[in-house]
Copies of this chain bind each other. A is one copy, B any other.
Amino acid sequence: MKAEIIAVGSELLLGQITNTNAAFISARLAEAGVDVYYHTVVGDNPNRLDEAITIAQNRADLIIFSGGLGPTKDDLTKETIAKKLGVALESDNDALISIEAYFKRTGRTMTDNNKKQALVLSGSTVLANNHGMAPGMAIKKNGKCYILLPGPPHEMQPMFEKEAIPYLLGTSGNKEVIVSRVLKFYGIGEAELEYRVQSILDSQTNPTVAPLASPDSVILRLTSKAESVEAAHKLITPVESEIRSLVGQFIYGIDEDSLSSKAAELLLRNGLTIAAAESLTAGLFMAELADEPGISSSLKGGVVVYDENAKKEQLDIPGSLLDEYGVVSSECAAALARSVKRKFSSDIGIGLTGAAGPDPHDGKPVGTVWIGIAYKDDEVKTYKLDLSGSRNANRKRAARFALYYVIKELKSRLPEN
């Protein structure tokens, strides 16, 4: 079944609001095994909506509308569809009762255009609106299925999940399920990743394997179709293993994992505490780690040593070290990690120093970053980054690389994870 989602509303075309409804509906349809081929946004204009419906009828079997069911004269979706399908509008008793109840409850006076909201397409299945007044509708006509949903997300979302999805599954006869598995990568670019798994990308059809790049990480989404969730998982497993054998060292997590959630999970599960000394990132590393609830039992805290004196005074970094190697150096990163670990008596200490930009710092080019990781009493490891983004992209990436190195460190030391 091919689906198209038509969002109706001039405020979308003016950029006053974003079409989150299409994203929400698309994600739910993907889970239900329905392929969405197009999203369309059209304004509150009956002629252009009519034309959009004609186009959709030529390329989709399921057409889902959101918006334009309200009481105002801009709200023309169901009138336009009724005309298009040659179906009458009739007042729905349950809807009218709930609208009248709403006004009684809120002590507001009901106007005639509110009654308009109780009008539904004759012969349609009414989808109850438990968070607003305008009811939804589902109707089949000439082999096409039309679903009408209200625009406000807090009304549309529960209606779609509780009313529309069951309607679709019940009537589509589509017994296919779709399962997705997301592999999350760090420290490798999109092109490089594709290059390394090219053979899989070329050969795979079920599951499909699709790369997706965000500003500073890449994912591979494996999506399989089968008659049951178990069967769909069985299709994914061997392909995932093959990918891991090729580029597993860059995989930090799966599905909903983020760098901070994965790092927090490993720290907490192993009862390890951590502290950080941050220069160029000025707190970003700790702030990201603290995104995770419950992290307080692992994150002891840390120091932001933004200027050189702070490094000396707050963390006793010897001036001689800074004179000899400079602030942006492996030695400084290691000293910061060691010192903050001691100061907060944590198991792990992180040191971050570098030249974020826009100007070179301490003679080092913009984008040069050193990260130190002190683990208990072992020798400190340091990593060098050469970043090429804006000042703030570099700072964010430095913090995220530090999270990534924490994950790598814990995975290598605690292989059972």
Q: A residues near B, CB below 8 A? A: 7, 10-20, 22-30, 36-43, 48, 51-52, 55, 59, 70-74, 102, 105-109, 111, 113-114, 131, 152, 154, 189-192, 194-195, 201, 210-215, 221, 223, 276, 278, 280-287, 289-291, 293, 295-297, 299-307, 309-310, 314, 343-344, 357-359, 367, 386-393, 395
Contact = CB atoms under 8 A, between A and B. Distances in A.
Closest CB pairs A-B (n = 5): A283-B283, A15-B27, A15-B26, A282-B290, A39-B41
Task: Work out how many copies of this chain go into the complex.
Answer: 2
Contact of A11 (B20, B39, B212, B276): B212
Given A14-B30, A194-B73, A388 B105 contact: yes
18 contacts: A13-B38, A14-B30, A15-B24, A15-B26, A15-B27, A22-B41, A55-B55, A102-B388, A105-B386, A109-B192, A114-B191, A152-B214, A276-B304, A282-B287, A296-B306, A301-B304, A301-B310, A303-B304
A76 B337 CA distance: 46
B18 A30 contact: no
A36 B23 contact: no
**Residue among A20, A28, A38, A105 with max Cβ neighbours from chain B (10 Å):** A38
A386 B101 CA distance: 13
B27 A23 contact: no
Contacts of A23: 12, 15-19
Nearest to A116: B191
A296 B304 CA distance: 11
Contacts of A48: 37-38
Contact of A290 (B107, B283, B296): B283
A41 B60 CA distance: 14
Contact of A307 (B28, B55, B280, B301): B301
**Residue among A300, A359, A367 with max Cβ neighbours from chain B (10 Å):** A300
B106 A386 contact: yes
A286 B10 CA distance: 35
**Residue among A16, A212, A284 with max Cβ neighbours from chain B (10 Å):** A16
Nearest to A109: B192
**Residue among A59, A301, A309 with max Cβ neighbours from chain B (10 Å):** A301
Nearest to A308: B296
Contacts of A20: 18
B221 A16 contact: yes
Contact of A39 (B13, B302, B359, B367): B13
A367 B306 contact: no
